[in-house]
C-alpha cells in the first residue's frame, strides 16, 4: 500500500519520485535560520521579494526554489510556506510561491499533492488556515492553488458561484477522477479537532465562506457520496495509491 509522504522532505526524498530526482541532486536541507527568514518574507514581502528569497534559498541549498518549498517547514508549528501565506491573508504570496514549479503542472501532480495537502501540527491544511482568515478570496486561492487554477480574487464573483460553473468530470479518465476525488478529500479534511475548513468558518460566523465551501464540495462530489465515511476511505486509499509512494 502506498501513502502520501509527510513533509518536510529531506533531499533524498525527491529521489523516491523518479521523474523528479533532479530536484535533489547535491541538495542540502535549509538551515532553521533560513526557514525562519523565508516564512517572515512570505508574511510581509512583495511577490518579487518572495521570488528573490526563494531563488537565493535554492542557491544556498543547491536545489531549485521549488524543492525548497517542500523542505522549508516551520518546525514549531509544522506550517508550510503556503500555510504562512494563508494565515497572513496573502493570495499574492500564495500565487508567487506556486510559480516555483514546472511548466507542466500534471507532470508534478504527485509531489505537489503531498505539499498542498500537508497538515501542520494542529492538523490544519492551508484551507483550514484560510477559512479562519474570514476572507473568501484567501479561501478560494487556497483551493485554486491546490487545483493548479488561475486565482479568482473577485469576492462578488466568488459569492455568486460563477467560479464553480462549467465543471465537467470524466471518471473514466484516471487523472480527472483523482483530481475530482482528491479535491473532495481536500475540502472535507478534518484537523486534529475533527473540524473541516467549513466547520472552522461556521464557528467564526463566516457564512459566505461556509456557502462557498459547501457549493464547491457539491461541484466535485456530484453524487453526494462524501457524507459516507466508507466512501471517503475508499477515495483516500485510491489517492494514496495514485499520488503516494511505497
- Beta-carbon contacts of residue 38 (< 8 Å; ≥ 6 apart): 30, 53, 54, 57, 68, 72, 81
Nearest-angstrom CA–CA distance, 29 and 3 = 23
pLDDT digit string (tens) for 209-240? 999 999 999 999 989 999 999 999 999 999 99
Q: 4-30, pLDDT tens digit by residue?
A: 989 999 888 877 776 666 666 678 999
Span 147-171, mean pLDDT? 65
pTM of the entire structure?
Answer: 0.91
Confidence of residue 157 (pLDDT cuts 50, 70, 90): low
Query: Virtual CA dihedral for 36, 6, 65, 137, nearest 10 degrees?
Result: -80
Q: Give the whole-angstrom CA distance, residue 112 versus residue 105.
A: 9
Q: What is the pLDDT of residue 169?
A: 73
Domains detected in the chain: 11-243 (1.25.40.20)
Question: Which pLDDT score, from 0 to 100, does residue 153 have?
Answer: 65
Amino acid at each position: 500500500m502506498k501513502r502520501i509522504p509527510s513533509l518536510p522532505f529531506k533531499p533524498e526524498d525527491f529521489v523516491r519520485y523518479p521523474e523528479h530526482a533532479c530536484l535533489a541532486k547535491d541538495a542540502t536541507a535549509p538551515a532553521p535560520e533560513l526557514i525562519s527568514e523565508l516564512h517572515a518574507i512570505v508574511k510581509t514581502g512583495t511577490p518579487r521579494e518572495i521570488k528573490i528569497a526563494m531563488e537565493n534559498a535554492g542557491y544556498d541549498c543547491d536545489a531549485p526554489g521549488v524543492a525548497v518549498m517542500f523542505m522549508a517547514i516551520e518546525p514549531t508549528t509544522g506550517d508550510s510556506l503556503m500555510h504562512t501565506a494563508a494565515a497572513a491573508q496573502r493570495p499574492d504570496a500564495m500565487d508567487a510561491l506556486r510559480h516555483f514549479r514546472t511548466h507542466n503542472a500534471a507532470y508534478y501532480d504527485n509531489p505537489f499533492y503531498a505539499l498542498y495537502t500537508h497538515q501542520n501540527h494542529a492538523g490544519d491544511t492551508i484551507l483550514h488556515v484560510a477559512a479562519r482568515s474570514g476572507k473568501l478570496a484567501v479561501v478560494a486561492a487556497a483551493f485554486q492553488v491546490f487545483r493548479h487554477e488561475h486565482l479568482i480574487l473577485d469576492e462578488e464573483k466568488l459569492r455568486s458561484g460563477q467560479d464553480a460553473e462549467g465543471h465537467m468530470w470524466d471518471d473514466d479518465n484516471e487523472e480527472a477522477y483523482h483530481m475530482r476525488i482528491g479535491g473532495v478529500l481536500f475540502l472535507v479534511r478534518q484537523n486534529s479537532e475533527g473540524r473541516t475548513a467549513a466547520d472552522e468558518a461556521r464557528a467564526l460566523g463566516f457564512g459566505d465562506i461556509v456557502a462557498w465551501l459547501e457549493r464547491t464540495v457539491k461541484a466535485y462530489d456530484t453524487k453526494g457520496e462524501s457524507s459516507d465515511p466508507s466512501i471517503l476511505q475508499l477515495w483516500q486509499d485510491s489517492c494514496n495509491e495514485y499520488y503516494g509512494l511505497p
